[in-house]
């Protein structure tokens, strides 16, 4: 992990210093905000060339809901690694609620807002929201564990 001071926003090269995900499964493009003990905000630009959209669905591509959850989980993993730099990983442990309110399609920019609801030792409970064009696209409650 980088020893240089945190400078926001940061992009894919810096994100890859904090989480192990790589193309085609790296689902965040930029981190724009980080407040220790509170929140992280990340961006995912949805492109027609994203490999999972080729079959979901042909002629009418839609970002799968499970990958929207994964994008929020990846943002929370960056949060966890920024919060506890000596941890080796941050793993999704539970999704307790997920509501999808609008389709996410190629050309959309997902703004991933992850807020810490509670922390106990190395466990975090998060509230995640995805906005597209300032409209709520999904909201998810989930938890993660630092290792």
Of 112, 118, 128, 40, nearest to 81 by C-alpha is: 40
Q: Decide if 56 is catalytic.
A: yes
Q: How many CB atoms lie within 10 A of CB 127?
A: 17
Which residue of the set 21, 43, 52, 56 is catalytic?
56
Of 86, 84, 91, nearest to 21 by C-alpha is: 91
Active site residues: 56
């Amino acid at each position: 992990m980088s020893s240089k001071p945190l400078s926001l926003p940061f992009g894919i090269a810096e994100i890859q210093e904090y989480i192990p995900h790589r193309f085609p499964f790296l689902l965040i493009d930029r981190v724009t905000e980080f407040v220790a003990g509170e929140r992280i905000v990340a961006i995912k630009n949805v492109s027609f060339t994203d490999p999972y959209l080729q079959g979901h669905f042909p002629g009418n591509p839609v970002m799968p809901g499970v990958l929207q959850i994964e994008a929020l989980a990846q943002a929370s993993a960056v949060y966890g690694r920024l919060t506890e730099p000596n941890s080796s990983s941050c793993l999704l442990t539970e999704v307790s609620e997920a509501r999808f309110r609008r389709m996410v399609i190629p050309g959309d920019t997902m703004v991933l807002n992850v807020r810490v609801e509670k922390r106990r030792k190395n466990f975090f409970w998060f509230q995640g929201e995805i906005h597209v064009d300032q409209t709520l696209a999904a909201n998810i409650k989930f938890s993660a564990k630092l290792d």
